[in-house]
Structure 1
Amino acid sequence: MILCCGEALIDMIPSAPQSGPQSGPEPYVPRPGGAVLNTAVALGRQGASVGMLTGLSRDMFGQQLADHLTGSHVDLSQIVWSNRPTTLAFVHLRDGQASYVFYDENSAGRMLNIADIPPLPQKISTLFFGGISLACEPAAESYMALLAREGTDRVVMIDPNIRVGFIKNEDRYRQRLTRMMGQSDIVKVSDEDLNWLFPRSAALEDKVQQIVKMGVTIVVLTRGEKGATGFMSNGSQVHVPAAQAEVADTVGAGDTFNAGVLAQFSAQGCLRKDQLKSLAPDDLQQALERGARAARVTVSRIGADPPWANEL
């Protein structure tokens, strides 16, 4: 089983405004969100064995998140339940650009404590970390402690998915990411992530090699419409172009790509540390291609709505 560890939240999305002079304030529609939740949902829909580890509220929004996960075949046995509120992200659209206001203080997700997470069962072979859950303390520290406690004999993938607006202490955040990437087997970074991690002027490939030198087996660099390149610690490289699609929006595209890569590795029987180290370039190529195909479906429709296996 692949265990996705990180945030699950509610995006409050503005619905279409009412027409006419009597129209009132624009209503909001609650929709499940969060990069790690999106990744878990995308994995479940592709048929992978997947679970979610997060702090989830017993409130009405927490139940909505749980229903969304189980509806996509995501196992909830590692959820840490509490009576704290669910994180809410209110989305404001102006001229097509989205900005966010987060209500996250003392939430079920943010207050997750490592002491509340029991030892993981042996059936969990792979851990996935990422998103804003690595930036928001105290949960961010709990996820780092979980990786240190449980990641030694399991495959670990991390996608920093850096959101600068959430960073309260840049030094602590950089140290946390560096430590966690150094314990990972697979790191996925966008070109924007890479330039934030290594702000000095240098070629992207040189910056990728900085991550490889941390002991990472595979680094996947995504560059939007320029596609994705996989760098292996043995020096091999593979590249896949971005799959062409009519774009509705890009919400959840990167999360779906991550799920496609992990789902393909799982189907290939490659989710073991030793197998990743001896992975053939063709196998990595197939994983990136599946990620690109899955992301193509997601961007073709509104919101984070990953494809099911029969759509691929």
Structure 2
Amino acid sequence: MILCAGEALIDLVPEPGGSLRPLAGGAVYNTAVALGRLGTSAAFLWPLSRDGFSDLLLRPLAEAGVDTSACPRTDRPTTLAVVSLAGGEARYFFYDEGSAGRMFVTDDLPPLPSGLQALFIGGISLVPDPCGATVETLAAHAAAQGIPVMLDPNVRPFFVADEAAYRARLDRLLGLAAIVKLSADDCAWLWPGADRETIVRDLTSKGARLVLLTSGAEGALALTPRHRIEAPAVQVTVADTIGAGDTFNAGLLDALSRAGALNRLDDLDEQTLAAALAFATRAAAVTVSRPGADPPWRHELA
């Protein structure tokens, strides 16, 4: 099983005519749904509100077979993200104060499930407290038990109120993570002016065993201490980029899980890594070809 711990929220997406359509979303939530649709045993951990949006969030998880039994339930409101689109690129404005997820505390953490293959974390859940500290504590517990942690910061600078504290948290988490995935925007914010080689050296010196760099239409790059593999982007007509990176993460984890490679990242062979990178890229291409965070089911990638 792969556990995804991080934000679930409602994306309010613009429709023709100026109305807003509510869609289930959140970076970590999207990855959990994508994992389930790909047929991977997956679980999701995040406090869920009892408000009118809860069914909208729970239904896609249930349809994908994702285990939500550990999710705390609360009367606090669901986080809302108003989405604006410019040239197919999504930008977000969040309403999060006092929300169900924002108030996630360490007392809400369940024991890590037995047989856990990996923990996936990232997104805005890492920014504010108490939820950021809670996810960090969970990641530390997993790493201490030898469970590989995958981190995708998915940096949203406009959501960061205390940049120094956030950078310090990411630095600690980068020291715990076995797998790190970064977009070009993430790299530019975290390491201004640094080239790829400098970034990868910094991450591997902290202990990362697999680093993934994605660049949208320019494809993706996977690096380990022994391998460097590139995968071109699959050419599709882009509807929007909502959920693309989240689907990429799920595709990579799914492929590594099926290959039995999550417990042997130090000995990851080139063929397995190349196949996982190609599969993740194909999965992400399906998501960008249709509106919203709508990751593919496994039969769509056969």
TM-score (norm 2): 0.95
1:289 and 2:282 are equivalent in the alignment: no
- 2:167 match: 174
CA distance in 2, matches of 1:278, 1:93: 42
1:307 and 2:296 are equivalent in the alignment: yes
CA distance in 2, matches of 1:267, 1:94: 37
- 1:242 match: 233
1:219 and 2:225 are equivalent in the alignment: no
CA distance in 2, matches of 1:121, 1:35: 22
- 1:23 match: none
The alignment's C-alpha RMSD in Å is 1.5
- 1:206 match: 198
- 1:104 match: 96
1:56-93 CA distance string (max 9 Å, x none): 11112022101121112111022111111111112345
Q: Which runs of 5+ in 2 are unaligned?
A: none
1:117-137 CA distance string (max 9 Å, x none): 121221322100011111122
CA distance in 2, matches of 1:95, 1:211: 32
- 1:4 match: 4
CA distance in 2, matches of 1:207, 1:40: 27
- 1:29 match: 21
CA distance in 1, matches of 2:91, 2:251: 28
Please tell me whether the aligned partners of residues 57 and 63 of structure 1 are also in contact (alpha carbons under 8 angstroms): no
Letter in 2 for 1:298: T
Structure index of larger Rg: 1
CA distance in 2, matches of 1:197, 1:238: 23
- TM-fit CA distance, 1:98: 5.2
Please tell me whether the aligned partners of residues 55 and 82 of structure 1 are also in contact (alpha carbons under 8 angstroms): yes
Equivalenced residue count is 300
CA distance in 2, matches of 1:308, 1:150: 28
Query: Of 245, 248, 252, which aligns to 1:257?
Result: 248
1:141-162 CA distance string (max 9 Å, x none): 1100111123322111000111
Please tell me whether the aligned partners of residues 134 and 140 of structure 1 are also in contact (alpha carbons under 8 angstroms): yes
- 2:13 match: 13
Please tell me whether the aligned partners of residues 90 and 242 of structure 2 are also in contact (alpha carbons under 8 angstroms): no
1:144 and 2:136 are equivalent in the alignment: yes
Which deviates the most, 84-93 or 139-148?
A: 84-93
Alignment of 1:119-158 (within 5 A): 119-152=111-144, 153-158=146-151
Query: Of 81, 84, 93, which aligns to 2:76?
Result: 84
Please tell me whether the aligned partners of residues 261 and 288 of structure 1 are also in contact (alpha carbons under 8 angstroms): yes
Query: Of 25, 50, 55, which aligns to 2:47?
Result: 55
CA distance in 1, matches of 2:8, 2:68: 12
CA distance in 2, matches of 1:311, 1:283: 21
Q: Which ranges of 4 or more aligned residues in structure 1 deviate by more than 6 Å?
A: 94-97
- 2:60 match: 68
Q: Which runs of 5+ in 1 are unaligned?
A: 18-25
Query: Of 182, 187, 197, which aligns to 2:190?
Result: 197
CA distance in 1, matches of 2:232, 2:294: 22
Q: Matched residue of 2:11: which SS?
A: strand
| Fraction of identical pairs, as percent | 48
Please tell me whether the aligned partners of residues 244 and 293 of structure 2 are also in contact (alpha carbons under 8 angstroms): yes
1:165-221 CA distance string (max 9 Å, x none): 11111111111111111111100011221121112x332222121111101101011
Please tell me whether the aligned partners of residues 194 and 208 of structure 1 are also in contact (alpha carbons under 8 angstroms): no
TM-score (norm 1): 0.92
